[in-house]
Amino acid sequence: MDKIEVNKKEMLQKKTWAVVGATPDAEKYGYKIYNKLKNHGYNVYGINPKHENLEGDQLYKSLLDLPETPECVDMVVNPKVSMATLEDIHKAGIKYVWFQPGTFDEAVINKAESLGLNIVYYDCVLVALDELK
């Protein structure tokens, strides 16, 4: 089993997640991933400075505003925002980051690896959660 598969397996066992890019727009992946994690029994925090809530749940402006530190962060934003968020992830001491397809580029992956983060990319949380059943 390669490092990404190991990270993926470990992440799916973590119960507290933050979704960066969570949104009340039901058509977007930020909405679908947030809800699917919740429906699978995960404790999920949404991060989106443009919205205040998602179906009654508070959305937070940044990872550093959360009431507790998530074990895992799922990125559902563009690579530029992913890059900027890596500093907050590092500051908060979070070790696991899942980059949804389209949320990273080579520079983002290199930065995440240089910070010693356990990462998954080229994989979708929605698919991985379906495979858990």
Q: Tokens 């983002």 label which residue?
A: 108
Paired tokens of 53: 């809530």
> pLDDT digits over 94-127, tens only?
999 999 999 999 999 999 999 999 999 999 999 9
**Position of tokens 């992830």?**
89
Mean pLDDT of the chain: 96
73 and 94 in contact (C-beta within 8 Å)? yes
The answer to whether residue 44 scores a pLDDT higher than 80 is yes
CATH of 3-132, one of 1.10.10.10, 3.40.50.720, 3.40.50.800, 2.60.40.10: 3.40.50.720
Residue 133 pLDDT grade (very low, low, confident, very high; cuts 50, 70, 90): low
Three-class SS of 28-74: CHHHHHHHHHHHCCCEEEEECCCCCEECCEEEECCHHHCCCCCCEEE
Express each pLDDT in 12-38 by its tens digit: 999 999 999 999 999 999 999 999 999
**What are the residue ranges spanned by the domains of the chain?**
3-132
pLDDT recorded at residue 50: 96
Largest Cα–Cα separation, the chain: 40
Both tokens of 106, joined, read 């080579």
Q: Any alpha helices (H) in 1-133, and if so which ranges?
A: 3-13, 29-39, 79-92, 106-114, 125-132
Angle 122-79-101 from CA coordinates, rounded to 5°? 20
Q: What is the pTM of this model?
A: 0.96
